[in-house]
């Protein structure tokens, strides 16, 4: 009997047979997250119902020396929840209780499997909502959002998940239940909670999360502006921010992304648009009205040929329908695609988009651009047909070239999707060896055995027992031992 088989027997005895999956066909359900480009069938899947069962599962993995990976709803786009073939996939989707909504404290306490949008549904009757809004907010879970430090369209004004998490109960990589942060706005000492949020399952598993609730704005105004080119739309974006206006969201889609959205959801964007901007302002009525006039004038002055203002919530939802469906919509125009997630300075948008177009044409690979223009967070969708020999390789080359462009312009290899499996190989392009060594020291402090989500984030693993020092020529490195 293998270590994994013995582990499965022990977990069935402790948790119940229905909570442990080992059937090969059932396991394939969990072979990838939202990035289907990478697939691994897990050795075992466990579905804990509470924090104690999650901790018991991790502790059993540690005792058996078996690696484990946490998974929420499986909507991630970087391969962060990609299973380990000889490990355990711990799925938190059954831990979905909203424990408390406390509007007087502007807080809510939820389990990791709670769906993002359900937090807002629970808080809305009291006049509050949960601000982070990934495009997958109808299905993505809070635990996954915490692991990836997810953002969303409205992160320009309201920030990312890390700005809205004030406490968490976690299972450490050694199987202990630990509290980080709390209900207070800030906790003394080292910011371990800040280190945990966005650590992609390498520092533990969240089993309870205390989130900040935001009061619903007095008014919301939404504008759809159509431009002939992405240059004009990019210039309008920079002009809006330069004027001192900070919208809740500024989103851009190019012609190919618009084509896909129209095919999928018939959003009715202006015909002939080379790019559209969705600009949303919220807050006190007087402030929003004044800023809205500025925004419409700036869009008009930078070449917008059509401006539409949402007259009611239904029209606002239609504006957002095309943008929110963009990733899935490209399936209407391409059998396969890679979603990228780089960041550049906002003022570099026109030039970088032109260079992405040049890379696209040089490789004969189409790229649809849909992104958070307000903070320069790009989401190029690299389209290809895996059934055509060589196309997948060319798509990978284009994807890598886009990441290189982001670094060249002083940006980042990821804004909100995380590093995961997909971008680990690009980490040395952005960080020095000393940078990566320092990061791995933190990881080893939490996970000395290296069992929590191994093979993610870092291009090569590190032996946690090794004393850190500079590598000398001719020596065998930790990476070479693997």
Q: What is the pLDDT of residues 387-408, one digit of tens each?
A: 999 999 999 999 999 999 999 9
**Where in the chain are the domains?**
3-91, 98-215, 217-327, 334-416
* Mean pLDDT, range 38-58, rounded to an integer: 97
Three-state secondary structure along 316-347?
A: HHHHHHHHHCHHHHHHHCCCEEEECCCECCHH
Kindly compute the dihedral angle of the four CA atoms of residues 365, 77, 254, 252, in this order, to the nearest 10 degrees: -160
Exposure letters 53-90 (e unless 16+ CB within 10 A, then b):
bbbbbbebbbebebbbbbbbbbbbbbbbbbbbeebbbb
Starting at the earlier edge strand, list the strands of the sheet with 205-212: 98-102, 107-110, 205-212, 165-171, 177-181
How many of the other CB atoms lie within 10 Å of CB of 311? 9
pLDDT higher than threshold 60 for residue 474: no
Find the helix packing angle between 255-265 and 313-324, rounded to 10°: 110
Three-state secondary structure call for residue 25: helix
Same fold, 98-215 and 217-327: no
Q: Give the integer Cα–Cα distance in Å for 289 and 221.
A: 8
Residue pair 400/393 in contact (Cβ under 8 Å)? The answer is no
98-215 folds as 3.30.465
For residue 152, the surrounding DSSP H or E stretch is: none
User: Can you give the pTM of this predicted structure?
Assistant: 0.92
**Per-residue confidence (pLDDT) for residue 124, from 0 to 100:** 98
> What percent of the chain shows pLDDT beyond 70?
95
Beta carbons within 8 Å of 405's beta carbon, 6+ residues apart: 342, 344, 352, 355, 356, 359
The CATH number of domain 3-91, selected from 3.90.650.10, 1.10.357.10, 2.40.50.100, 3.30.43.10: 3.30.43.10
Amino acid 478: pLDDT: 36
pLDDT tens per residue, range 174-220: 999 999 998 887 788 899 999 999 999 999 999 999 999 999 999 99
- Return d(Cα 240, Cα 226) in angstroms, integer: 15
Q: CA–CA separation, 83 vs 30, rounded Å?
A: 8
Residue 482: what pLDDT? Answer: 31
66-69-72-78 Cα dihedral, nearest 10 degrees: -160
User: What is the per-residue pLDDT across 90-139, written as a single tens digit (0 to 9) for each?
Assistant: 999 999 999 999 999 999 999 999 999 999 999 999 999 999 999 999 99
| Domain 217-327 coded CATH 3.30.70.2190 | yes
Residue carrying structure tokens 């000492």? 189
pLDDT grade, residue 464 (50/70/90)? low
Q: Which among 194, 198, 224, 208 is positioned nearest to 50, based on CA atoms? A: 208
The band of 341, judged by pLDDT with boundaries at 50, 70 and 90, is very high
CATH 3.40.720.10 fits 334-416, yes or no: no
- pLDDT digit string (tens) for 139-185? 999 999 999 999 999 999 999 999 999 999 999 999 999 999 988 87
Query: Measured between alpha carbons, how far is 70 from 68 in angstroms, rounded to an integer?
Result: 7
């Amino acid at each position: 009997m293998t270590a994994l088989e013995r582990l499965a027997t022990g977990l069935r005895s402790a948790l119940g047979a229905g909570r442990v999956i080992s059937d090969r066909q059932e396991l394939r359900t969990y072979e990838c997250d939202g990035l289907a480009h990478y697939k691994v069938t897990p050795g075992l899947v466990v579905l804990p119902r509470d924090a104690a069962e999650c901790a018991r599962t991790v502790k059993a993995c540690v005792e058996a020396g078996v690696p484990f990976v946490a998974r929420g709803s499986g909507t991630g786009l970087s391969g962060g929840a990609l299973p380990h073939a000889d490990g355990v996939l711990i799925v938190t989707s059954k831990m979905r209780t909203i424990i408390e909504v406390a509007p007087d404290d502007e807080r809510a306490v939820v389990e990791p499997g709670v769906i993002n949008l359900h937090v807002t549904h629970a808080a809305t009757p009291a006049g509050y909502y949960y601000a982070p809004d990934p495009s997958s907010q109808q299905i993505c879970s809070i635990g996954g959002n915490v692991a990836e430090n997810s953002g969303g369209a409205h992160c320009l004004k309201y920030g990312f998940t890390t700005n809205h998490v004030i406490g968490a109960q976690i299972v450490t990589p050694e199987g202990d239940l630990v509290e980080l942060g709390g209900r207070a706005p800030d906790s003394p000492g080292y910011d371990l909670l800040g280190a945990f949020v966005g650590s992609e399952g390498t520092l533990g598993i969240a089993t309870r999360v205390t989130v900040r609730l935001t009061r619903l704005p007095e008014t919301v105004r939404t504008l759809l502006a159509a431009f002939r080119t992405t240059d004009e739309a990019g210039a309008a974006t920079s002009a809006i921010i330069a004027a001192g206006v900070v919208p809740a969201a500024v989103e851009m889609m190019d012609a190919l992304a618009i084509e896909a959205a129209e095919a999928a959801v018939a959003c009715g964007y202006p015909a002939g648009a080379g790019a559209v901007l969705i600009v949303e302002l919220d807050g006190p009525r007087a402030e929003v009205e004044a800023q809205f006039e500025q925004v419409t004038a700036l869009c008009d002055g930078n070449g917008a040929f059509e401006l539409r203002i949402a007259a009611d919530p239904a029209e606002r939802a239609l504006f957002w329908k095309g943008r929110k469906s963009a990733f899935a919509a490209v399936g209407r125009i391409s059998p396969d695609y890679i979603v990228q997630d780089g960041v550049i300075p906002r003022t570099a948008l026109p030039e970088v988009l032109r260079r992405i177009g040049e890379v696209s044409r040089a490789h004969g690979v189409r790229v649809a651009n849909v992104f958070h223009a307000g903070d320069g967070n790009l989401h190029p969708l690299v389209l290809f047909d895996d059934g055509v020999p060589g196309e997948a390789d060319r798509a990978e080359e284009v994807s890598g070239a886009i990441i290189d462009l982001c670094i060249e312009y002083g940006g980042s290899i990821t804004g909100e999707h995380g590093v995961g499996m997909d971008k680990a190989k690009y980490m040395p392009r952005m960080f020095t060896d000393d940078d990566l060594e320092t990061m791995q020291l933190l990881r080893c402090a939490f996970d000395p055995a290296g069992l929590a989500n191994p093979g993610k984030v870092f291009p090569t693993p590190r032996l946690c027992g090794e004393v850190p020092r500079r590598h000398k020529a001719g020596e065998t490195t930790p990476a070479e031992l693997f």
